[in-house]
């Protein structure tokens, strides 16, 4: 079982060799949550503002399933 993880902008700096075009394919453990994936990747949870799973908003305690796409985004500024 695996998921595809896409990191946006500044979150990419936490994963050495991250390729923004392909993202990462991560093998899942049983009942693994988004929070656990963040820890495995070394991405501090407080640096993630928006979490999307297959294009829908999700929380860090959501359990991932095979084939899902996880998108992680930092806070966005502008004006």
Q: Is residue 59 part of a domain?
A: yes
Q: What is the spatial distance between Cα 75 and Cα 27, in angstroms, rounded to a whole number?
A: 27
Count CA within 13 A, CB hemisphere, residue 24: 21
- CB count within 10 Å of CB 55 equals 7
Expressed as residue numbers, the domain containing 61 is 2-73
Q: What is the spatial distance between Cα 23 and Cα 4, in angstroms, rounded to a whole number?
A: 7
Q: Is residue 78 part of a domain?
A: no
- CB count within 10 Å of CB 6 equals 18
Indicate whether this model's pTM tops 0.75.
yes
Q: Looking at residue 24, which CATH number applies to its domain?
A: 3.10.20.30
The per-residue pLDDT for range 6-63, each reduced to its tens digit, is 999 999 999 999 999 999 999 999 999 999 999 999 999 999 999 999 999 999 999 9
**Number of compact structural domains in the chain:** 1
State the alpha helices, DSSP H only, in the chain. 34-41
């Amino acid at each position: 079982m695996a998921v595809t993880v896409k990191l946006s902008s500044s979150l990419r700096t936490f994963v050495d060799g991250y390729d923004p075009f392909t993202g990462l394919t991560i093998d899942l453990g049983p009942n693994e949550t988004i929070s656990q994936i963040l820890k495995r990747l070394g991405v501090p949870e407080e640096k993630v503002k928006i979490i999307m799973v297959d294009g829908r908003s999700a929380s860090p305690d959501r359990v991932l399933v095979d084939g899902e796409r996880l998108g992680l985004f930092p806070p966005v500024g502008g004006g």
